[in-house]
Structure 1
Amino acid sequence: MDQEEISKYVDRCRGLIEASPQMDEENTKVKLIQPFLELLGWDLYSTEVALEYEIPMASGSTYVDYALLVGDSPVVFVEAKPARSTLSDAEVRQLRSYMRQELDVDWGILTNGKSFEVLTKDRSQNGGEEMSVVQFDLDDLSERPGVLQLLTKESIRSGKSAEIAEQVAETNRAIRYLSEHETSISASIANAVTDEVGELPIDIDAQTREFVQNLVTILREQRQFVGETADTDTESDPSESYVESIGDSEVIESADGPDNPDELEPLRNQIAGTIRRENIVGDPDSTVAVFPTRESGLPFLKENNAWGFVRVGRKFDYVAMYVTGDVREVKYIAEVDDVVAPDQAELVREPLEYKDRAKIASNKRVITFKPGSLYELEDPVPFETRYPQGLRYTTLGALRTADTTDDMI
């Protein structure tokens, strides 16, 4: 898919949304969503696109905004919402119910022209349970254009999209199993290592638990960018892929660097002090970007008053840090000053002192904090069942009042 064409589409949509932020559904369809379908290769002026497609339901008929057809059979349902709205779980459930009525409809797109959620059927499950494949925003397309390959007419008709969907289904099953059995899997790995090499002078239980958590992180990142990697024909270094996928959400020490984070002490500690969440000043609707990090990433945070090296697709006002491993808490908060290229960030150390074997990609950034705004939370948010295994967004109000991570992730 042509990058220039995608960029023009994104710029045009941004301009329309900025000019009319309260755009209603009909204008959203014509100005934002129909050009999106054309971008994917679907011809709106042919029989392959049906508007207000009738779906028989148990209680009568209903209509989906667009049905994309191959031959006479619908294969994709597209449900449109106004740009002024936000997508809800109820609307996702509605689209799932539409997909369930048509045997050949393996794909669903829910969008308001700004945000997109893509669903597919997991054919490995009885009845083909509908699952979410990917969520992305309009701004993400500038950085991740490959995600659109999942939905092009060519990919749908050739079966390539079905192959990607199966990969996502397998990844989902692995994530679910690893998450549900984290304790037993970690114990099995720890026992295997101990049986092979004997007792070690480290907390092997903590290390194996972090290994399982990181494995889940990698799988989630692979799932998020599956549309981009599916078309890659070149072979890559597995270690480099590992760093690239994790590097979006963590800072990794160098291959020859310390395994113990205490060995990489900050040259200067720029934490301003401690603060209770209720005392953080700011609008409760302010956006907070929540990043996960191992303890080994904290020296970067503390000595640079910044976070990196990450991809970001939208604006946010604060950064919160969830510390993995034994800590498992949202433990730090800072107010964003700027988002800059790594060579503009004035880092205390060279990037490779923080990052393992990975080049700093041109689209990765460093988030700098306002001076004196980096605080350690007196009342950190503890882990319950969910935690950010990649960049996630919440609000300052949700962060202030959360009892556990489940209330904000």
Structure 2
Amino acid sequence: MPSLDLRSFVARTAALVDASPPTTLRETRRWLVEPFLETLGWDLRDASCVTDRAVDETRLEYVPTIDSVPALFVAVEPSDESLDESRANDLRQAMAWTGVDRAIYTNGRAYLFLAGRTDIEYRAFELSDLPNEEAAIATYSRDAVGRRLEQHSRPHIARQLAVERSRLVDDIVDRLTEATVQGEVYADEFASATDRFLDRLLVAFADGDSVRPGADTDIAEDVSVRFSESAITDDGRDRLSSTDPSASASSAAGSESSSIGREDETTETETETGSENGTGTSTNPTASAADQATDGDARDDSGGAETDPTGSGEYVVRFFNERGSIGAIGHSTPEGALVGTAEYLLGRGLAGVSVPWSPDDADRTVLNDEPTRADGSPMDAPKRLSNGLALETAGDVDDQAARVEALADRAGLRAMLTGDWKTI
């Protein structure tokens, strides 16, 4: 792979910032971000680069494409502002929903690189760090991403539908309105139906045939995703520091006190290596919640969850109310997805559950204030939730799936399981 010449880019950018630092978003984009993306080989002047687009309600300044397939998400803040944690999480959510597995979030001085879909890895660098991190940054280049997109697949369609969704909705509603008598009266209904149709298509192409048999597939509007192993959490800090040295690459890789990578007791990160990020190195050694719950072992039905001990799966749960989709969680293991489901639902109708609680058709206690069942016997592989309740996480994949659906039902929601969920 040809050199990215990051050293020259950094020298030019540092000189420009010292002489006349940009003060607006427009100047940051033009003077700092666009030259960086061009150093990575992206042609931002070409019609193939989509600009100023909202995807899953996440604002993106650039969406470069390759053969019309969205390849990279780029979000930008003004140079004189720090990176926003909530926007970083929104960016992760948009990646998970669309399948676009590379994203960059920057203000021209601090750079957050994200890779993956459910187990999204991150690396945080300052401008001066870039020349020493060329191997990692090269995986975001036009050349590297292009090689990964050479073989067309169904998820590529999902990417296109997600990025063009708002335009498609407008176009279809306009056609329907023109084709019907007094169609403008029914424009809102046309828009709602079109939203549901496009989101159903998006999920079908993103997940292929992986939808769990019997799951509800009435996809609707306003889909967003929150991951239980999110490395970028909102713990009361509104902004990511662009000058704090703890946000550097070394701290992001190994320090729980990093301004970007710090996690609380219920939000933990599990990362993958090798082919996913192209660097062959792990970006965060912190174990996932699911790993802690199961001690990393594959277990049978009597002793815990039968899972892939490497945590390399993709278990996604999407939630719906009577109006449509309201969100989702994802994890690399089924028990991790179960824990994420419970945490997600605590603020959506589950918090007031009377314990000990078990699904109507099950004898096994699923939730209790102590890690014991209703009869006083100990739970298998209990996990303490953020509100203090103990969650039973033992069982095989089907047990976890049934428990996820039961928890959602108790909260008054419907759950659709996609990804690697399977039935025996």
TM-score range, shorter chain: 0.3 to 0.5
Question: Relative to total residues, which structure has the larger strand share, 1 or 2?
Answer: 1
Higher relative contact order (CA 8 A, sep 6+): 2
Q: TM-score, normalised by structure 1?
A: 0.37
